[in-house]
Structure 1
Amino acid sequence: MKASRLDEEFGTDCVAVTGLGLVTPAGVGWEATWKGVLAGQSVAATDPALAGLPVDFSCRVPDFDPHALVGKGAGRLDRFSQLAVAAARLSLLDAGLDPAEWAADRVGVVIGVGLPSLETCQREWVKLHAGNYKEVSPLTLPRSLPNMVAGEIGMRFGARGPNLTVSTACASGGTALGTALDLLRSGRCDIVLAGGTEAAPTARLHVLAGSQMRALSTRRSDPAAASRPFDADRDGFVVAEGAAVLVLERSEHALARRAGRVRARLLGYGASADAHHPTAPDPTGEGVALALRAALGDAGLRPGDIDHVNAHATSTRLNDLVESQVLDRVFPHSPPVTSNKGVLGHTMGAAGAIEAACAVLSLEQQVVPPVANLDSLDPEIPLDVVSKMPRQVRMEHVISASYGFGGQNAVLALGR
């Protein structure tokens, strides 16, 4: 979208999405991810790194070359940081932004991370346990601390504004985008690189812990059929890795630099807490409903204005059921619903950002991707869930919703 159209149609007081950077199990780049999501075919497969565990499959990013995508010093980063830096680089290219030309102190970074990185910690713990103290790497902390992912993006691209990592479990990516929206509205930043990252399959302990909780699907004989949001035969989610970074700009700034394209507008953000249970959702769904209504209010929208919902929908029994009942209650006009987790698995801290990016692409292309593996809609789920093939839908406003352990909820409202 040309800058002049930005001025005429959006005004100069909105927050524009001007760049998308995606590194997901469907591929590197937004084009590969979108192609995979539209195809509606799961990419889950047996994971040699998880051999011997009760659940030994995951969704991993294919053909990821950190040295090519991250650049110098990639080897000193844990994978969750590598994925995020690569996604940030791709988002800047997509936005047509050159860090050498921006006002560095006006550029912020907000990245969501759901799990602490155990990749380095696992390796160094073995040395500690064996008494080989001098062999423990001095890079143990800078490689594994959650805040380092935002710090690395700031260092690599010269972003010297507010720089932080947020963690609200599987809602982290959505929380990061909402936090970025607040930074831009407040006038503290002109640009924020915002998103989420996760590399849970690199830590066997993370996967085993999820298995012990009975949160993961146990379809070892058919991993590709394991993640099946809203399906009557769902039995848990599939652990995945990935990252997404969106370039968010004050529209006035995008206009001034003559941004070549505005993909969408980030209109509103709603956050809430269930205040109910460490891992289970509140069966009344009131916390989720609060976040949905808060996002609508922040965006100045009514429920009937929403044309599509990209749901959290993890493929677990209780979460999908509660979420669907709340969506039916808040949106009685039944807009079409999808979940990208059928294809990509559950990228946890990255999920909210990846799904927000997919919501942007749905708005751009006026199409809702299908839910993978949805063979028989659970009869207790009262939604119009898109399955089997993409559906063309006229859309002006969409919702992207994310929820996490601890009962933390984050909902984003986006518009064309």
Structure 2
Amino acid sequence: MRALLALEDGRFFEGESFGATGTLVGEICFNTAMTGYQEVLTDPSYRGQIVAMTYPLIGNYGTNSLDQESRSPHVRGFVIEELTEIPSSWRSEMSLDEYLQKWQIPAVQGIDTRALTRHLRTRGAMKACLTTEAISPEEATRRAIEGEGVIGIDYVREVSTPKIYQWDPNDKLSTPWSITVENGGAKRALPPTRFRIVAYDYGIKENILRLLRQKGFDVTVVPASTTADEVLALNPDGIFLSNGPGDPAALPYAHQAVRDLMGKRPIFGVCLGHQVLGFAFGGSTFKLKFGHRGANQPVKDLRSGKVAITAQNHGFAVDPDSLPSNVEVTHVNLNDGTVEGMRHKELPIFSVQYHPEAAPGPHDAAYFFSQFTDLIEGNL
């Protein structure tokens, strides 16, 4: 079945439909990771977006119930160059096509994703219309222009948990495993919990929760709208600010809650949590031309000079000129010089713009979870 992808500036691409059918509009972005498409699909940070994968062959290993970063996909549409129709993996439970049909996500293959990516890199991220219906390119372009973008939109309320819960109280979801010759897989024991933390759910990925538990944290997850007083009533040793979707400027309730928590507990933020912290410091953010999305973003630690290859997924960045003098920029992106990390000079607070948990991506930055442990231990 024919599918059409029309951008709001008039550029359009024709391809072949797979997954679900229908018409949708959202901001289109590209991800440069070679693997991890299921994690991308289920990352709440992609809420409201159409995602194009730059790697040319997608679906090679199918999908399964273990690689989900949340209970269901959050992308509005999916764009690839070529779909693998017969996946090859002992872990596969269904093909990518079947998976997208199950979750009613329209997708298109046969698109020149290199041309699309170069266009977005040059012109910037923009709204797009993806359709499998008999709609002309002109009509699809009109719908893209009139559709909803991401600026000023609070997608966090759509993905955040509606109630407080404890993550993995029985240690069934966080226990890591390793391959053995005898039985093909063996569980490794989790460490005992040392500290109780509250994790704000702005759209938290499950691998973040798994790694927090693996580092010895007893994690209580709270809705994004939870006030500082409600968090402090839980008597945590530290506060974690998660990743999430949309425009950080559209979350004044989150800015205020974090501002009220500053100085009362150690705080660690990642991705959207990093941006929310920027607002709590008194700073601001700006929209990147085409964002950082993929598993190969180089980041430099300005204190040590070390460079890490990181997994990222964000379309906004903290404005360094807006930060007060008591906040230090600790990390920068080597591609465009944008802020990738910061810390408060007087309070036990730090954050990074990227994803230390990866999934998908390298584990160069996983040590930040251990730094959070040290920060809490040093402030008890």
- What TM-score does the superposition give when structure 2 sets the normalisation length? 0.31
Task: Tell me: higher relative CO, structure 1 or 2? Use CA pairs within 8 A at least 6 residues apart.
Answer: 1
Greater strand proportion: 2
- What TM-score does the superposition give when structure 1 sets the normalisation length? 0.29
